[in-house]
Amino acid sequence: MFLTGTSRINEKNHLEIGGVDTVELVERVGTPLYVLDEAEIRKRMKEFIASFQAYNIPFQVAYASKALCTKAMCYMAEQEGLSLDVVSGGELFTAIQAGFPSERIHFHGNNKSEKEIEMAIDANIGAFVIDNLYEIELIKEIAGRKEKKVNALIRVTPGIEAHTHEYIQTGQEDSKFGFNLNEPAIAAAKIVQASEQIELNGFHFHIGSQIFDMTGFEKAVERIADFYSIVQYELKTELPILNTGGGFGIRYTNEDNPLSIKNYVDSLLESVKNHFVKRSLNIPEIWIEPGRSIIGEAGITLYKIGSSKDIPNVRKYVAVDGGMMDNPRPALYQAKYEAAIANRMISDESEKVSVAGKACESGDMLIWDIQLNQPQAGDLLAIFSTGAYNYSMSSNYNRIPRPAMVLLNEGNADLIVERETVEDLVQYDRVPERLTVQKNIGIK
C-alpha cells in the first residue's frame, strides 16, 4: 500500500483524501465510487508547466483527455494553463461545452469522421494531428468547402518499440498510427504543403504509454532530428513545432519506479537540444501530451466488499460491487494495483486474498494475491492509482450502471459525474411495434 497526494490515515483509522473521510463519503454517495484528489491533479499540472518554463523555449503542455475526459477536468486544465489533446468528437464536444479555448485544442485519431472534422473546423481548433492520406483529403475537402485554412501536424512512427505492454506500444513501424519514416512521411508532408487548406506546422510522434525508461524517447528524438533535417530540405521550409507525445509512467504498485515529472521533461528537452543543435537545426516549439501522469495517481476507486470464497490450499476470493465494468485494465493489460481496507487502514492482521469483480466473467479480477486487513463483507476497499483510463474505458457490461465521480479538495466533496441508474440503461432501448403486437395477440 502507498499513499499519494493528500491521502492520509485519519484519527478514525479511515482513509482520508482531500480532507474528506472516505468512509463517511460513501455513506452519503454510495459505491462503487471514483474519487479524485484535486490538489494532486493541479500539483502535477503545475509541475509540467514549471519544468518547461526552466528552459528558454516555446512549449505547450496538452492534457491527454482520453485518460479522463470530463468537463471538470477541462476546467482545471484551462485554469492551470494547459492545452488539450482530444481524440474524438465526444471529447471535443466535452471541451467545447466546458468553454475550453479552442485555439489550445489538438485533435488526434487514426480515423476521424467527416462529422468530427467538421465540428473541429467549425470550432476553430488549434491543430489537427493528421494520421493518414485519407484524412488529408477529408480535411482539404471540408476546409475548402467552409473556406477555411487549418493548422496541422503529421503523425509519424519513428520505429521505436517502447518497453511496455504490446497493446499500448504505438511508435513501432507495425502500427495502425501515422506515417512511417522517411519516404511515406515526406510524401504526406509534400501533399499537405501543396494544399491551400492546410498549414503544415510540424510533426508528432508517440512511442507508447506507461514508460519509465527515457532511452526510447531519446532514440526517437534522434531519429526525428534526422528526419527534420531531411524533410525541411525537401520542403525548403522550416517546421516550427515538434510534438513528442506522452506516455510518462506512474506508480501503480510498489514495484513501479517512475521518474519525477521534472526528470521526464529534463531528459526529453536535453535530448531535443542535443540532437537538433548537433544537426544545425533551430530548436522547435515543443508540445507534449501527458494524461496518465497527471490524473493516474490522483484517482482512487472505492468499493463495498460482499461475498467471499475460500478454496483451501489455493486462494481466497473476495468480491466487490464493481469490476471490469469500471476498470477493464486488469483484463485487458494484466494491470496491477495496490489496495487497502479504507475503514481499517492499520491492522495487525493480514490475509492474502484475490479481489474479484461482480461481472459474469471468470476474467473479472481486479487484483490477484494481495495482503489485506482481514476483509469482511461490508468493508470499504480502496484501489489506488485508478484515475487514468478506468472511467474512460468503463462499460455497462451485464447492464451494470457506471459509478459516480467525486472531486475532493480541502474538505469539499463535489459530484462531477452523476451515478448512472438502471433507468439510464434502457433510455435508448426501442421495441419495434410488430413485437408488441405479437406479444398482445399471444404469438408464441
Task: Write the CATH number for 370.
Answer: 2.40.37.10
Q: Is residue 244 part of a domain?
A: yes
- Provide the pLDDT for residue 349: 78
Domain annotation covers residue 443: no
Q: In 3D, which of 329, 337, 249 has the Cα closest to residue 291?
A: 249
pLDDT score for 442: 63
Q: Do 240 and 323 reside in the same domain of the chain?
A: no
- Weakly modelled stretches of the chain, pLDDT under 70: 1, 161-173, 439-444
Instruction: Tally the residues of the chain.
Output: 444
In this structure, the answer to whether residues 248 and 348 fall within a common structural domain is no
Catalytic-role residue among 346, 360, 431, 441: 360
Assign residue 249 the CATH number of its domain: 3.20.20.10
Domain final residue pick, 290, 315, 349: 290
Summarised one tens digit per residue, pLDDT across range 54-77 is: 999 999 999 999 999 999 999 999
Q: Is the peptide bond before 182 cis (omega within 30 degrees of 0)?
A: yes
Cα–Cα distance measured from residue 271 to residue 277, given in angstroms and rounded to the nearest whole number: 10
Give yes or no: residues 250 and 399 share one domain: no
Predicted pLDDT of residue 358: 98
Distance between CA atoms of residues 308 and 320, nearest Å: 9
* Structural domain that includes position 320: 8-37+296-425
Instruction: Check whether residue 18 and residue 126 sit in a common domain.
Output: no
436 falls within a domain: no
For residue range 142-201, what is the model confidence (pLDDT) as tens digits? 999 999 999 999 999 998 766 543 433 444 567 788 999 989 999 999 999 999 999 999
Q: How many domains does the chain have?
A: 2
Answer yes or no: is 434 within a domain.
no
214 lies in some domain: yes
User: Burial code of 153-163, b = ≥16 C-beta within 10 A, e = fewer?
Assistant: bbbbbbbbbbe
Statement to judge: residues 251 and 302 lie in one domain: no
Distance in angstroms (rounded) separating the CA atoms of residues 108 and 148: 19
Neighbours of 266 (CB within 10 A): 16
Contacts of 260 by beta carbon, 8 Å cutoff, 6+ apart: 47
Around Cβ 267, how many Cβ atoms within 10 Å? 17
Q: Are residues 376 and 356 in the same domain?
A: yes
Residue 74 among the catalytic residues: no
Mean pLDDT of the chain: 94
171: Cβ contacts below 8 Å, ≥ 6 apart = 157, 158, 159, 160, 161, 162, 205, 206, 207, 208, 216, 220
Please tell me the predicted confidence (pLDDT) of residue 49. Answer: 98
Based on the fold, state whether residues 123 and 159 are members of the same structural domain: yes
Q: For residue 442, count other CB atoms closer than 10 A to its CB.
A: 6
The 8 Å CB, 24+ separation contacts for 212-216 are 212/163, 212/249, 212/256, 212/257, 212/258, 212/259, 213/163, 214/259, 214/264, 214/267, 214/268, 214/271, 216/160, 216/161, 216/162, 216/163, 216/171
Q: Is residue 15 part of a domain?
A: yes
Q: Does the residue 393 lie in any domain?
A: yes
Residue 339 resides in a domain: yes
Say yes or no: 225 and 129 in one domain: yes
